[in-house]
Amino acid sequence: MSDTPTETRSVVVEREFPHPPDRLWRALTQPHLIEEWLMKNDFHPAVGHRFKLQGEWGGTLDCEVLVVEPDKALSYTWNFTHADPAFDLRSVVTFTLTPTGTGTRLRMEQAGFRPDQKQAYGGARAGWPQLFEKLQQVLEKSA
Amino acid sequence: MTTSQDLLFRTLADPTRRALFEHLCHHGEQTVAALTAQAGVSQPAVSKHLRLLKQAGLVLDRHEGRQTHYSARRRALVPLLDWTSQMAGFWEQRFDDLENLLNRMDQ
């Protein structure tokens, strides 16, 4: 919250799963499995591969694979093109897998948001869709 | 941040309170009587909802004679519009689904 306007921010979510890295890797890289926990996609684990993530809200994220290190690291761009700069999003998602004694720690970092970003498509629609939309309308109407 | 967000969501989850808040956003400062006239619930109920909205920082009150005037404090919504917490919430949910999937792959 203390960023200066020129910086970008990132979101980090970490969790330890009681499963071996190769199982996580499959869930992160096989399209039919990715669809089960993230979004519909045409992912392929090859650097330079461009793919789309289809959000339930009807929007599409444009992605390009940047890093593929089996069972260790996966990174791709996570971009949402929108004419309104408040909605336009350029970010990079990086998954890091670290084996632990009992499973795997998965770290997700999404970096590259601008501090003036008002909306993060994908996230904004995930939790409280109607209420959030309402609030947004209230803010816009009464601005 | 999480606590204040929880309070905001809890407060706004009630449709009557949300309607009161929206009405104040759109129509500016209002008396309890004026709010009651359009709320469709009793004056004591309106007062109770306004008290909760005030606790969450969503409205301000101003006393003038025997009347209390309420106004919306839209700035209170800013934490809800912060993308970092939205995005973190998005990934936490996705991780829940991932955990679910991993457990099923196990079988």
The stretch A68-72 carries a mean pLDDT of 98
Q: DSSP characters for A129-142?
A: HHHHHHHHHHHHHT
What ipTM goes with this model? 0.74
Taking residues B1-9, what's their average pLDDT? 66
Which of A13, A14, A110, A118 best probes binding to B when mutated, by most B CB atoms within 10 angstroms?
Answer: A13
**Which tens digits make up the pLDDT trace of A41-69?**
999 999 999 999 997 766 788 999 999 99
User: What's the CATH number where B27 sits?
Assistant: 1.10.10.10
Decide if B16 is inside a domain.
yes
User: Whole domain around residue A50: which residue ranges?
Assistant: 9-141
Residue A63: inside a domain: yes
Q: What is the pLDDT of residue A84?
A: 63
Banded model confidence at residue B93, pLDDT cuts 50, 70, 90:
confident
Determine whether the interchain pair B95/A106 forms a contact, defined as Cβ–Cβ distance below 8 Å. Answer: yes
A33 assigned to some structural domain: yes
Chain B positions touching A15 (Cβ under 8 A) are: 95, 99
**Residues B81, A36: C-beta atoms closer than 8 Å:** no
Domain that holds residue B35: 2-76
User: Could you tell me the pTM of the whole model?
Assistant: 0.60
Going through chain A in order, the beta strands assigned E by DSSP cover 9-17, 40-41, 50-54, 60-69, 73-80, 89-99, 104-113
Q: Is A2 part of any domain?
A: no
Instruction: Count the domains in chain B.
Output: 1
Mean pLDDT of A1-8: 48
List the CATH number of the domain containing A122. 3.30.530.20
Q: Does residue A4 form part of some domain?
A: no
Instruction: Kindly list the strands in the beta sheet with B59-64, ordered across the sheet, starting from the edge strand earlier in the chain.
Output: B30-31, B67-72, B59-64
**Residue B56 in domain:** yes
Sort out which chain B residues have CB atoms less than 8 A from A113's CB and list them: 83-84, 87
pLDDT for residue A81: 77
Q: Which of A120, A2, A140, A136 is closest to A61 using CA atoms?
A: A120
Specify which of A74-83, A90-99, B83-92 reaches the highest per-range mean pLDDT.
A90-99
Cα(A18)–Cα(A20) distance, integer angstroms: 7
Contact yes or no for A118 and B83 at CB 8 A: yes
User: Is B104 a domain residue?
Assistant: no
Closest-approach residue (CA) in chain A for B1: A1
| Residues of B contacting chain A (CB within 8 angstroms) | 9, 12-13, 18, 21-22, 25-26, 72, 74, 77, 80-81, 83-84, 86-95, 97-102, 105-106
Q: Do A120 and B98 touch (CB under 8 A)?
A: no
Q: Provide, as residue numbers in chain A, all residues whose Cβ is less than 8 Å from the Cβ of B72.
A: 142
Q: In angstroms, what CA-CA distances link B88 with A79, A91, A109, B42, B61?
A: 17, 14, 10, 40, 34
Q: Cα separation of B101 and B93, whole Å?
A: 13
| Residue numbers in B near A127 (CB within 8 A) | 86, 89-90, 93
Give A90's Cβ-side CA count (13 Å radius): 6
Q: pLDDT value at position B107? A: 53
